[in-house]
């Protein structure tokens, strides 16, 4: 075992007489500061840059082993994982800790979705014998304050977790200042500081984008601005066709706002399975959301003397009297101030940082993950990628090939009703495997929740499900559901698909009755003649098998 004095003497030599010898000592020292000796690294000067003859003759030191630019979910997860291996880690963030998800994304959105779901339950309560729905009031500002306090508490938890993990926190705007070098401009206005690091991670996330158009940026808000609203809008125009647009439109409509949804083409969620798109479209209209289709976007927005806005669409239509116009056409990577070009970090045509399967950018020692790379822009995806990256960089030889898988990632849209999806859509499966090799099982029914409703069956909200199977063994390559509880049921089915489940595996699973999820394991398993598309349709209301799905 090396002694402390011996190690320090090696570090101070700075030069070796033979390249091979230098290489051997480099390997030995790298082994010394590996996981088995990380306590040493934490007590002395930071990680040595190099002892090989191919670098500078003078031994150089890094301030940190790992420097993370961005205090969002992915960056913090990676920083804390690296710290568990004993790495000396720092995180730079100029806003609140937690990034988009905690502050203006997943968390506050789910709070608002919960409120909207409660409003829907109040609306339904008379069907279960309860009265007084008309007397219930809603205080938007009260909810906003409670939500913001919860988010602030999470910010504090993130701060404490970093402190407990021995991760250094730098409050300021960070940029790349050269190879292995980060410059931080502190938020308190003090002098910029420069730090060096063996490895640098870019995890700065994305930001809302405003489309071009007269008055668009001046008279509209982004999804970030939605969480700053002090009052419930009377009338809102939501522009966008992605998950953010349909989620916020659903929240506003359920809470009492007269909501209009503007989409560029025929309908929202164009990349999703057609069953999901069609069913959500029907449900949004049933709830009272007016959808403006094939608009090609917004041409301009004008503000009237009373403060209300008129939205002019590119197809000639206009929407008058809106007190809020919410732009949600998408998000772009937040890279404009990072100085990427100076260090050779390349971006694609949409501005996302190019990375390989190991989160490596085109610049040595610099990595990127999360929304900034534009792959699967989901918080759990960024967290998983961040942890795998730290495993590979600091976890030892057994993690040498650690990387995150972007296959079969479960996704939920918190629309009203919710959507759960994993794997290939029907169209994508046919494109990949061929129509003759794809079989699709579908079902559409009214959830048992709506059983007591004394309304026309056609007016009851529907749950729709689809299994997409490929090959003679009917490997399940896609699973899609829209309806009450879709968000909670998807996680378990995600595991099944990851493990390579077939339709026969689903058929062999005993159902939990009465639930909506049981429909996935009770869809027709026997030999009916499929349609030309390969689809097998279960009857409406889950009439097959004999016990109805609920």
Angle at 157 between CA 66 and CA 197, to 5 degrees: 10
The annotation status of 330 as a binding-site residue, yes or no, is yes
CA separation (Å) from 474 to 149, 410, 497, 525?
49, 20, 12, 11
Residues in the chain: 550
CA distance 5 to 9: 6
The annotation status of 371 as a binding-site residue, yes or no, is yes
CA distance 23 to 25: 5
**Helical H runs in 68-195?**
73-84, 99-104, 106-124, 140-164
CA separation (Å) from 295 to 85, 312, 318, 443?
53, 10, 10, 32
pLDDT digits (tens, 9 = 90+) for 191-249: 999 999 999 999 999 999 999 999 999 999 999 999 999 999 999 999 999 999 999 99
SS3 state of residue 347: strand
The two most distant CA atoms of the chain are separated, in Å, by: 91
Asked if the model's pLDDT at residue 545 lies above 50, the reply is: no
Higher pLDDT, 498 or 13: 498
State the chain's mean pLDDT as an integer: 88
CA distance 200 to 482: 40
pTM: 0.86
As beta bridge partners, residue 359 has none
Structure tokens at 471: 């090959």
**pLDDT on residue 9:** 41
Question: One of 127, 352, 416, 513 is an active-site residue; which one?
Answer: 513
CA separation (Å) from 29 to 18, 41, 320, 377?
17, 11, 70, 39
CA separation (Å) from 480 to 53, 329, 533?
57, 24, 17
The annotation status of 244 as a binding-site residue, yes or no, is yes
Nearest to 166 by CA among 99, 102, 85, 96: 85
The DSSP secondary-structure symbol of 127 reads: G
CA distance 193 to 187: 12
Q: What's the mean pLDDT in 494-519?
A: 97
CB 462 within 8 Å of CB 456? no
Q: What's the mean pLDDT in 147-162?
A: 98
Asked if the model's pLDDT at residue 312 lies above 50, the reply is: yes
CA distance 93 to 202: 11
**pLDDT on residue 352:** 98
Taken in order of first residue, the domains within the chain and their CATH numbers are 64-208+333-399 (3.50.50.60), 221-329 (3.50.50.60), 417-521 (3.30.390.30)
pLDDT digits (tens, 9 = 90+) for 365-394: 999 999 999 999 999 999 999 999 999 999
Distance spanning both ends of the chain, measured CA to CA: 66
The annotation status of 334 as a binding-site residue, yes or no, is no
Asked if the model's pLDDT at residue 441 lies above 50, the reply is: yes
**pLDDT on residue 259:** 99
Per-residue buried b or exposed e for 448-459, using 16+ beta carbons within 10 Å of the residue's own CB: bbbeebeeeeee
pLDDT digits (tens, 9 = 90+) for 49-59: 333 333 333 44
Q: How far is CA 78 from the centre of its chain?
A: 16
Provide the Cα torsion 239, 243, 244, 250; round to 10°: 80
Asked if the model's pLDDT at residue 22 lies above 50, the reply is: no
With cut-offs at 50, 70 and 90, classify the pLDDT of residue 535: low
Residue with tokens 């899609």: 480
**pLDDT on residue 525:** 60
pLDDT digits (tens, 9 = 90+) for 99-113: 999 999 999 999 999
| Phi, psi values for residue 332, rounded to 5° | -120, 155
The annotation status of 150 as a binding-site residue, yes or no, is no
Asked if the model's pLDDT at residue 400 lies above 60, the reply is: yes
**pLDDT on residue 424:** 98
One-character DSSP codes across 231-262: S--SEEEEE-SSHHHHHHHHHHHHHT-EEEEE
The annotation status of 319 as a binding-site residue, yes or no, is no
The annotation status of 429 as a binding-site residue, yes or no, is no
The annotation status of 250 as a binding-site residue, yes or no, is no
CA separation (Å) from 489 to 276, 285, 424, 493, 499?
16, 25, 18, 7, 17
CB 476 within 8 Å of CB 467? yes
The fraction of the chain above a pLDDT of 70, given in percent, is 84
In the chain, what are the helix, strand and coil shares in percent, each to the nearest 5?
A: 35, 25, 40
Describe the strand order of the beta sheet including 535-537 as a list of residue ranges. 411-413, 419-423, 475-482, 462-470, 438-446, 535-537
With cut-offs at 50, 70 and 90, classify the pLDDT of residue 524: confident
The annotation status of 517 as a binding-site residue, yes or no, is no
Angle at 475 between CA 469 and CA 480, to 5 degrees: 45
Q: What's the mean pLDDT in 107-124?
A: 98
The DSSP secondary-structure symbol of 326 reads: E
CA distance 175 to 193: 11
Higher pLDDT, 342 or 3: 342
Q: Please say if 513 is a catalytic residue.
A: yes
Asked if the model's pLDDT at residue 521 lies above 90, the reply is: yes
Q: What's the mean pLDDT in 245-256?
A: 99
The annotation status of 246 as a binding-site residue, yes or no, is yes
């Amino acid at each position: 075992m090396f002694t402390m004095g011996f190690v320090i003497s090696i570090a101070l030599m700075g030069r070796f007489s033979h390249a091979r010898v230098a290489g051997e000592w480099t390997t030995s020292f790298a082994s010394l500061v590996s996981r088995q000796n990380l306590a040493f690294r934490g007590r002395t000067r930071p990680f040595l840059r190099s002892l090989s003859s191919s670098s500078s003759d003078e031994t150089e030191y890094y301030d940190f082993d790992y420097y993370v630019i961005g205090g969002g979910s992915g960056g913090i997860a990676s920083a804390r994982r690296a710290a568990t291996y004993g790495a000396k880690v720092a995180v730079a963030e100029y806003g609140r800790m937690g990034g988009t998800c905690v502050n203006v994304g997943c968390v506050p959105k789910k709070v608002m979705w919960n409120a909207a779901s409660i409003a829907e339950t109040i609306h339904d309560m008379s069907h279960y014998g309860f009265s007084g729905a008309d007397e219930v009031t809603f205080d938007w500002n009260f909810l906003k304050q409670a939500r913001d306090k919860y988010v602030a508490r999470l910010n504090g938890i993130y701060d404490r977790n970093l402190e407990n993990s021995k991760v250094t926190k730098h409050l300021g705007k960070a940029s790349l200042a050269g190879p292995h070098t980060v410059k931080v401009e502190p938020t308190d206005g003090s002098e910029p500081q420069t730090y060096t690091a063996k490895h640098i991670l870019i995890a700065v996330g994305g930001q809302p984008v405003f489309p071009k158009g007269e008055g668009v940026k001046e008279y509209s808000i982004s999804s970030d601005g939605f969480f700053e609203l002090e009052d419930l809008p009377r009338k809102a125009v939501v522009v966008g066709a992605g998950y953010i647009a349909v989620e916020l439109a659903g929240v506003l409509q359920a809470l009492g706002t007269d909501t209009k949804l503007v989409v560029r083409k025929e309908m929202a969620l164009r990349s999703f399975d057609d069953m999901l798109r069609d069913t959500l479209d029907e449900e949004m209209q049933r709830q009272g959301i007016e959808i403006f289709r094939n608009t090609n976007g917004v041409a301009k927005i004008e503000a009237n003397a009373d403060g209300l806005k008129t939205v002019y669409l590119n197809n000639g239509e206009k929407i008058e009297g809106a007190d809020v116009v919410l732009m949600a056409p998408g998000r772009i990577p937040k890279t404009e101030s990072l100085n990427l070009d100076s260090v050779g970090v390349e971006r694609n045509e949409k501005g996302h940082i190019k990375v390989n399967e190991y989160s490596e950018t085109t610049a040595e020692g610099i990595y990127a993950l999360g929304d900034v790379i534009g792959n699967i822009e989901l918080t759990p995806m960024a967290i998983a990628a961040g942890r795998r990256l730290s495993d590979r960089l600091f976890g030892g030889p057994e993690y040498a090939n650690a990387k995150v898988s972007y296959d079969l990632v479960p996704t939920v849209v918190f629309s009203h009703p919710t959507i759960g999806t994993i794997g290939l859509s029907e169209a994508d499966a046919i494109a990949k495997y061929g129509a003759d090799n794809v079989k699709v099982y579908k079902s559409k029914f009214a959830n048992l929740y709506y059983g007591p409703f004394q309304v026309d069956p056609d007016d009851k909200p529907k749950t729709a499900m689809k299994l997409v199977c490929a090959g003679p063994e009917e490997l399940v390559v896609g699973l899609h559901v829209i309806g009450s509880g879709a968000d909670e049921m998807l996680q378990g089915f995600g595991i099944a698909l990851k493990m390579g489940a077939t339709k026969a595996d689903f058929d062999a699973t005993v159902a939990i009755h009465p639930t909506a999820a049981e429909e996935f394991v009770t869809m027709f398993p026997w030999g009916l003649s499929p349609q030309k598309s390969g689809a097998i349709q279960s009857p409406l209301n889950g009439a097959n098998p004999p016990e109805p799905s609920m």
